[in-house]
A and B are shown apart, each in its own frame.
Chain A
């Protein structure tokens, strides 16, 4: 009898009320659809979008190539923005469409910037931060680079040498700021990187030598001081040569003038 009562109590305890009363949203035997449907829908949508974007890009490229001349054509082929391009050619060079740009017109000036700050259009050289057009032609454009903005306003600045010069100047400026902030190691790093791009800059060698000297690295400092002096010698010879050349030109010019004046007398 006692056993029956005990079993009854256990059974009652086991069948106590549930604490959670929520209807199940999925039970055994239900189906969870495979991922194929989701992929198919996304694929169809993506394909349609890609075809439309590709058609827009192709028509922009066709218009850009149809209206280009000389250096602009060469830049388009390289995928680089160049001075003198029009708005369509800028888009063709960056392989973008109107969706990527925010274009603001003010009088005869037009400014093109990225539509979304995190997604700036790129040409073959880098991220294009801003393009400024005057009378429908590119007058200046700027790249966003690791050291800051690089602005191109002349053909010389657009060349590889111009780019190297701009980058080295930014590095040197950064180095100067780091020295002012007391970070000599950081400054040395920037000057070192700048010296790769400006191998014939005597004053840069002097700055590196001084920094190495202050950091108690005498052997490297001596080499840099020697390079500085050597560079100065070369510059002196160059300067003398230039002065002599100018002098020779002046002498020749003066002699020619004397002959002409004497003949006319």
Chain B
């Protein structure tokens, strides 16, 4: 009698465990490659689509501005630019490097602007050059004190204004970029792009 009750309990426990596993198995993970240019807004926070929008706009504005042609005609060569600080002044984590790199790529590939390594990047280059002076063959050494000085510095920032009420939220991003003459501090180009997002978090709706 005792053994038949025990067997019943064991069977019930096994059935429950199997059912539990079956339910858990339904919560499966799906990974797929999607088009990088597609807009995929999940949380409403800053994402890759925003970065691309900003990059496109700043590239168009900066390369279409008259400052490059004016410099080239006055000095006989393309202006040299160094990328300075791009600050994220929002409360959100924003990877400003993504659109700044896009901007750099546009400058270099369009051949309208010469780009020199930024303060952080050139430390490694200088260390390598210094090492070459000791270890590299004389005819293959990179010469010292031949760095190209920049005429302009690109600086910028990202700012955000958030307005929320209940389940609704509006986030406004403003990205400003400025090209500053390193000798005179004159701002020769100012670029700007604005993004406004409306986020509705209602659970039920029609």
Q: Footprint of B on A, CB under 8 Å?
A: 11, 14-15, 18-20, 22, 24, 26-35, 38-39, 42-43, 45-47, 49-50, 53, 57, 94-97, 99-100, 114-116, 118-122
Contacts and interface: CB of A to CB of B under 8 A. Distances in A.
B38 A29 contact: yes
A61 to B, nearest CB: 10
Closest 4 CB pairs of A and B: A95-B76, A42-B63, A119-B74, A46-B112
Given A114-B74, A118-B181, A11 B204 contact: yes
Nearest to B99: A35
B168 interface: yes
A43 B110 contact: yes
Given A32-B49, A33-B56, A95 B64 contact: no
A107 B131 CA distance: 62
Contacts of B186: 118
B203 to A, nearest CB: 6
Nearest to B37: A31
Given A14-B204, A18-B168, A35 B52 contact: yes
Give the contact-size bracket for chain B: 35 or more
Q: Is the interface of A mostly helix, strand, loop or mixed?
A: loop
Given A34-B37, A42-B106, A50-B78, 5 more contacts: A32-B49, A39-B105, A43-B111, A43-B112, A94-B76
A195 to B, nearest CB: 27
A14, A15, A38, A45 interface centre (most CB from chain B within 10 Å): A38
Given A26-B49, A38-B59, A115 B109 contact: no
A46 B206 contact: no
Contacts of B72: 49-50, 53
15 contacts: A18-B200, A20-B170, A27-B41, A29-B38, A34-B52, A35-B52, A38-B106, A39-B110, A42-B110, A47-B111, A57-B76, A97-B73, A115-B74, A116-B70, A121-B75
Nearest to B39: A30
Given A29-B38, A30-B38, A38 B181 contact: no
Contacts of A28: 39-41
Interface of B: 35-41, 49, 52-53, 55-56, 59-60, 63-64, 68-78, 102, 105-106, 109-112, 165, 167-168, 170, 181, 184, 186, 188, 198, 200, 202-206
A39 B74 contact: no
A38 B63 CA distance: 9
B76 A96 contact: yes
Contacts of A95: 75-77
Nearest to B169: A20
A125 B105 CA distance: 33
B37 A33 contact: yes
Contacts of A121: 74-75
B122 to A, nearest CB: 24
Nearest to A30: B39
Given A38-B60, A46-B111, A15 B55 contact: no
